[in-house]
């Protein structure tokens, strides 16, 4: 990891996990010039409704602790309470070996009819990565998938996700 122009993103369940699991490595990478960022899926306070009384009395300290730890480690940016959506990738998701991983079973859909053309235009920028029809990585297949995902929920076009966690 000697490339000093790296950007590192650590996704942790809640504050203190990043320090427990990889705090030394984060500090080392930051010292080497990497831009280290940490995103927490919850603030721990909202993740545990039956939190011990002493923690409930210190909500501000518990919310500021991740930023204080980040400053010590050299972390550039901290996000708390991220919405975790897992998405499918044409030519990747459908090529899993049977039984090698859980099947992609979406439970969250976003209507993209109004932005489908912009998605396809942005995809054109990756022309070197694209293939011809009927490859799953073709422009046509991507549009067909959006139309199919839309049809499954009554929209003209949609993208499908698996909602892993939502912090309101």
Instruction: Evaluate whether residue 2 is within a structural domain.
Output: no
Contacts of 59 (CB under 8 A, 6+ apart): 45
| Domain identity same for 55 and 118 | no
Q: Is 166 a residue whose pLDDT tops 90?
A: no
Find, among 12, 15, 11, 13, the residue nearest to 55 by Cα. 15
Name which of 46-60, 61-75, 109-123 the model is least confident about: 46-60
Domain range enclosing 59: 7-80
Residue 1: pLDDT band with limits 50, 70, 90: very low
Residue 161: pLDDT band with limits 50, 70, 90: very high
Question: DSSP 3-state assignment of 50?
Answer: coil
Q: How many CB atoms lie within 10 A of CB 130?
A: 16
Q: Tens of pLDDT along 118-127?
A: 999 999 999 9
Task: Give the model's pLDDT for residue 89.
Answer: 87
Residue 133: pLDDT band with limits 50, 70, 90: very high
Q: How many CB atoms lie within 10 A of CB 86?
A: 14
Instruction: Evaluate whether residue 1 is within a structural domain.
Output: no
Task: Give the model's pLDDT for residue 30.
Answer: 93
Task: Give the model's pLDDT for residue 164.
Answer: 80
Asked if residue 161 lies in contact with residue 83, where contact means CB atoms within 8 angstroms, the answer is no
Q: Note the helical H segments in 32-73.
A: 53-56, 59-73
Between residues 48 and 145, which one has the greater pLDDT? 145
Beta partners for residue 38, in sequence order: 10, 78
Number of domains in the chain: 2
Q: Is 54 a residue whose pLDDT tops 60?
A: no
Q: Tens of pLDDT along 68-104?
A: 999 999 999 998 876 778 889 877 777 778 888 888 8
| Domain identity same for 89 and 153 | yes
| Domain identity same for 50 and 118 | no
Task: Give the model's pLDDT for residue 91.
Answer: 76
pLDDT, the chain, mean: 85
- Cα–Cα–Cα angle for 33, 34, 39, rounded to 5 degrees: 145
Task: Give the model's pLDDT for residue 167.
Answer: 63
Instruction: Evaluate whether residue 135 is within a structural domain.
Output: yes
| Domain identity same for 88 and 76 | no
């Amino acid at each position: 990891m000697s490339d000093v122009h790296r950007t590192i993103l650590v996704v942790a369940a809640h504050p203190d996990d990043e320090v427990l699991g990889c705090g030394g490595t984060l500090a080392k990478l930051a010292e080497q010039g990497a831009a280290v960022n940490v995103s927490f899926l919850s603030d721990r306070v909202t993740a545990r409704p039956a939190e011990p009384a002493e923690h409930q009395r210190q909500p501000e300290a518990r919310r500021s602790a991740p930023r204080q730890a980040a400053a010590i480690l050299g972390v550039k940016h901290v996000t708390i309470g991220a919405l975790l959506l897992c998405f499918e990738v044409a030519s990747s998701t459908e090529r899993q070996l049977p039984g090698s991983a859980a099947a992609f079973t979406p439970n969250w859909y976003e209507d993209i009819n109004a932005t489908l053309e912009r998605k396809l235009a942005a995809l054109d920028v990756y022309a070197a990565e694209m293939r011809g029809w009927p490859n799953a990585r073709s422009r046509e297949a991507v549009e067909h998938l959006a139309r199919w995902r839309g049809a499954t929920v009554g929209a003209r076009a949609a993208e499908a996700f698996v909602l892993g966690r939502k912090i309101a």
